[in-house]
Structure 1
């Protein structure tokens, strides 16, 4: 079992991290939730039925953890606002984003400002290249909702690019 689990971790940790990095936009949070994803998956290993791919199952766990993290952060921001306090943390760009080329850097910054549903579907379909069916399984949506939400997210991202600049479809 241990060798099997080590293989699962080694084969999927990068994909989980990349998804979380795109969804959350912060390296430390993505690393933290990557580890938490595998801890949770290990605890649920016996319940994995194989009805979806292992990769899809792991990304779904990561997605649910990320959504919970975002909701918690939103509640904290609301509480701070109600208490008339300024947030104590500034937004820091992760090392990976700083090392990317300028077009991809701009894209990631725009993705971070999308609604959570749009961020999730762009991360899965555009950056991680999951199929519509896999994205639907991960998000618990219909295939139709994945397609419509992805279209709207890309349209929103495209609106951020001026004429003559690189098209978002070329970057994703």
Structure 2
């Protein structure tokens, strides 16, 4: 990959990487910083990219690892819902974004954020970012069977969480599979 090629890669994938990282950290500035760091690291390691996976999978995995490093440095990574250890949710900070997404989508995102971290990640990757089972398994470093099983459990936990809050679970928003 040459510099010009990498600039094209940045232009093509930076929004995808940013939106994934934003869903993990729930802070615009931090997601922007981590996105920049992701592409900087990818550029430095561009000669190690193997064509076995696609570029977006490789970039998301780098971003995920950087995010985990950040959480560890800040001692934020716990086996409890990660939202408790992050800065305040953007839902309190950016009302226009809430209106755009709508109340139902906001409720789903809040419910996702209340799940344990591995459930959050698998739902974000599989159902929101629409990565395949194989791509998700590469990003998370899990077997494909674990991705499938965790997805089913995560969706069940999400459905339970939403029903406890009196919300209907919209099968069209997140399909099981």
In 2: Cα distance, 1:56 partner to 1:151 partner = 22
Q: Per-residue CA shift, 1:36-83, capped at 9, x if unaligned?
A: 110110110011121111111001111111222223333599xxxxxx
In structure 1, the partner of 2:11 is 10
In 1: Cα distance, 2:126 partner to 2:76 partner = 28
In structure 1, the partner of 2:81 is none
In structure 2, the partner of 1:162 is 163
Structure with higher RCO (Cα < 8 A, 6+ apart): 1
The 3 A distance-change label for structure 1 pair 101 and 48 is same
Segments of 5+ residues of structure 2 without an aligned counterpart are 79-84
Answer with 97-106 or 35-44: which moved more: 97-106
In 2: Cα distance, 1:168 partner to 1:29 partner = 30
Segments of 5+ residues of structure 1 without an aligned counterpart are 78-86
TM-score where L is the length of structure 1: 0.84
CA contact (8 A) 1:60 1:139 kept: yes
Q: Per-residue CA shift, 1:74-104, capped at 9, x if unaligned?
A: 3599xxxxxxxxx9x6444353752311111
CA contact (8 A) 1:60 1:138 kept: yes
Answer with 125-134 or 21-30: which moved more: 21-30
In structure 2, the partner of 1:107 is 108
In 2: Cα distance, 1:47 partner to 1:76 partner = 28
User: Aligned-residue CA RMSD in angstroms?
Assistant: 2.5
In structure 2, the partner of 1:49 is 50
Give the Å deviation of 1:155.
Answer: 1.0
CA contact (8 A) 2:17 2:60 kept: yes
CA contact (8 A) 2:111 2:162 kept: no
1:123-134 counterparts in 2 under 5 A?
A: 123-134=124-135
In 1: Cα distance, 2:61 partner to 2:77 partner = 24
What secondary structure, in the 3-state scheme, does the structure 1 residue paired with 2:74 have? helix
In 2: Cα distance, 1:17 partner to 1:151 partner = 26
CA contact (8 A) 1:124 1:135 kept: yes
CA contact (8 A) 1:103 1:171 kept: no
CA contact (8 A) 1:25 1:112 kept: no
In structure 1, the partner of 2:144 is 143
